[in-house]
Amino acid sequence: MEIKAVFFDIDGTLINDSRTVLKSTEAAIKSLQEQGILVGLATGRGPFFVKPFMDKLDLDFAVTYNGQYIFSKDRVISATPIDKQSLRDLIAYAKEHRKEISLGTEQAMQGSKIMTFGMSSFSQWATQFIPRSMTRTVSHGFNKIVSKALPQHEEDLLKLIQEPIYQVLILADPAESEKIEADFPHLKFTRSSPYAADIINQGMSKLEGIRLVGQEYGFDIHQVMAFGDSDNDLEMLSGVGLSIAMGNGTSSVKEVAKHTTSSNSQDGIHRALEHFGILASEKVFVSRDHHFNKVKTFHGVMDECTQEEPIAWTPEEARHRADFKLEEVVEFLRAASSSEEEFDQSMARMHEALDKAAAKVRSKREAEVSLVGQVDALIDMLYFTYGSFVLMGVDPERIFDIVHQANMGKIFPDGKAHFDPVTHKILKPDDWEEKYAPEPAIERELERQIQAYQRNVEKAQKETKDEE
């Protein structure tokens, strides 16, 4: 899978507990941009909050208000306000049930003074110290005290809805918001906070916003890597090609994500990008061949070190590496055989070819350990492999990334590879087949390439017909 775009949630993901972007994250974003990978934000926050991050980090686009308002550096890509009648009904509900609400415009989140305070830096910092079991008690107590001192006026809210409103926030714990949702089935409820629910249009989400951006910039959802930490990231992380849960994220987020990294205060973004070979480690040399860098990242984790000085393989090590390659050659022949008889014939031919090749090589040079000879042979194998893809009409670029991510998925949550104590073969985590098995993704990619070819043929035939 080729990653063409990376999206970050903001709170709890892009920024740390001190409300700043880590230097390691800034460096990671710069490296992504240098590779030509698009970088954006996907957040429940409004565009007014996001703009400073866009400018500072030179980001390409932002999906804000959970997909309701999407913009790039120079234009608005999509804006989907909530209809006026729904807004009036929500305001009436809030008044009847004494619920604090805020309304999100392009320029600000306005309404409840309580919720304005709740979105402040101090409040966001303080909530991390409140146990989840105390959420409802704290919410009710705070609401009762502050609402008396700073009452919310219905007429002010009705004035606000004269301009487009893209998201509504209502102060309610999860159980309360479920009851409210039942009264507004035509609207969608999500949350990034234990204290408040985000209300948007049905059919919209961070994932749908990312899909709309992809239509504009030429990538599909399977070519997206996304980072998140809270429950309003669940749909996004379930739908993109490569999903990363932050170490400080909710248990629900960690369950759906394909990988869990360290926290937003412990270089989690940079580490995840390194883990999947999208960023090369600063401790090793970096090749201009991105595929090489990804495999090197894999071996760095597997072997817990990398080879920086060119050396030749020993005879025993060379035999070990050749065993791996021969197994893949046998699998290749098996996939080219329509019956057991054909496969047996192919294997017999391969044994004959091995004997013939051994005789040919013996006649060319004396046996010796040679770095030049080993590199020359491996490069020829690589060239022949690319040649096979050329003659098959298959582009291996995305397929390489699919296999790489499957291999990186063999790393256990402790960040290390685990090996069978008897066979010494690498073990796979229990969820590897479900999350990382490459065959389904390879099949989808090949189907995409076949369909692309057919579209090109149809287009060429139509152009020829038009010329006639």
pLDDT, tens digit, 9 for 90 and up, residues 291-304: 888 888 888 777 77
Please state the φ and ψ torsions of residue 419, each to the nearest 5 degrees: -120, 150
Residue 210, CA distances (Å) to 105, 199, 441 in order: 20, 18, 20
pLDDT for residue 35 is more than 80:
yes
61 and 209 share one domain: yes
Q: Which residues of 401-412 are buried (b: 16+ CB within 10 A; e: fewer)?
A: bbbbbbbbbbbe
Taking a C-beta distance cutoff of 8 angstroms, is the pair 270, 262 a contact?
no
380-415 pLDDT, tens digit per residue, is 999 999 999 999 999 998 899 899 888 888 888 777
71 and 210 share one domain: yes
pLDDT value at residue 290 = 79
37 and 130 share one domain: no
437 and 305 share one domain: yes
If pLDDT is split at 50, 70 and 90, which confidence band does 123 have?
A: very low
pLDDT for residue 53 is more than 80:
yes
271 and 296 share one domain: no
What residue has token string 């995840």? 272
151 and 11 share one domain: no
Could you tell me the CATH number of the domain that includes residue 164?
3.30.1240.10
The mean of the pLDDT values for the chain is 87
pLDDT value at residue 145 = 56
192 vs 99, higher pLDDT: 99
Considering its fold, how many domains does the chain have in total? Answer: 3
Q: How far apart are CA 44 and CA 63, in angstroms?
A: 8
Residue 294 within a domain: yes
55 vs 136, higher pLDDT: 55
pLDDT value at residue 246 = 95
pLDDT value at residue 125 = 46
262 and 227 share one domain: yes
79-83 average pLDDT score: 96
Taking a C-beta distance cutoff of 8 angstroms, is the pair 258, 243 a contact?
yes
Residue 412 within a domain: yes
- Half-sphere exposure in the Cβ direction for 324 (13 Å, CA): 5
Q: Pseudo-torsion of CA 372, 303, 224, 38, nearest 10°?
A: -60
If pLDDT is split at 50, 70 and 90, which confidence band does 420 have?
A: confident
Residue 335 within a domain: no
Range of the domain at 52: 5-79+204-276
pLDDT for residue 435 is more than 80:
yes
pLDDT for residue 147 is more than 70:
no
18-40 average pLDDT score: 93
Residue 391 within a domain: yes
SS3 103: strand
421 vs 288, higher pLDDT: 421
Could you tell me the CATH number of the domain that includes residue 427?
1.10.3420.10
Please state the φ and ψ torsions of residue 426, each to the nearest 5 degrees: -70, 135
pLDDT for residue 283 is more than 70:
no
Count of CB atoms within 10 A of residue 116's CB? 17
Residue 385 within a domain: yes
Residue 136 within a domain: yes
Q: How far apart are CA 201 and CA 110, in angstroms?
A: 19
Q: Show which of 201, 226, 241 is a domain's final residue.
A: 201
Residue 381 within a domain: yes
Q: How far apart are CA 428 and CA 441, in angstroms?
A: 18
Three-class SS of 132-197: HHHHHHHHHHHHHHHHHHCCCCHHHHHHHCCCCCCEEEEECCHHHHHHHHHHCCCEEEECCCCCEE
Q: Show which of 173, 201, 229 is a domain's final residue.
A: 201
Could you tell me the CATH number of the domain that includes residue 62?
3.40.50.1000
pLDDT for residue 251 is more than 60:
yes
11 and 158 share one domain: no
Q: Quote the tokens at residue 426.
A: 């690498």
195-216 average pLDDT score: 94
Q: How far apart are CA 213 and CA 154, in angstroms?
A: 36
Residue 346 within a domain: no
Q: How far apart are CA 239 and CA 222, in angstroms?
A: 8
pLDDT value at residue 122 = 42
168 vs 419, higher pLDDT: 168
197 and 266 share one domain: no
Q: Show which of 201, 233, 264 is a domain's final residue.
A: 201
Q: How far apart are CA 7 and CA 32, in angstroms?
A: 11
304 and 194 share one domain: no
pLDDT for residue 231 is more than 60:
yes
Report the DSSP pairing between strands 38-42 and 61-64: parallel
Alpha helices in 192-314 (DSSP H): 206-217, 234-239, 251-256, 268-275, 290-303
pLDDT value at residue 468 = 72
95-110 average pLDDT score: 90
235 and 375 share one domain: no
pTM for the full model? 0.62
CA 362 to chain centre: 50
Q: How far apart are CA 395 and CA 286, in angstroms?
A: 24
74 and 218 share one domain: yes
Q: What is the DSSP letter of 419?
A: B
pLDDT for residue 129 is more than 50:
no
pLDDT for residue 196 is more than 80:
yes
Nearest residue to 229 (alpha-carbon basis) of 257, 201, 202, 203: 257
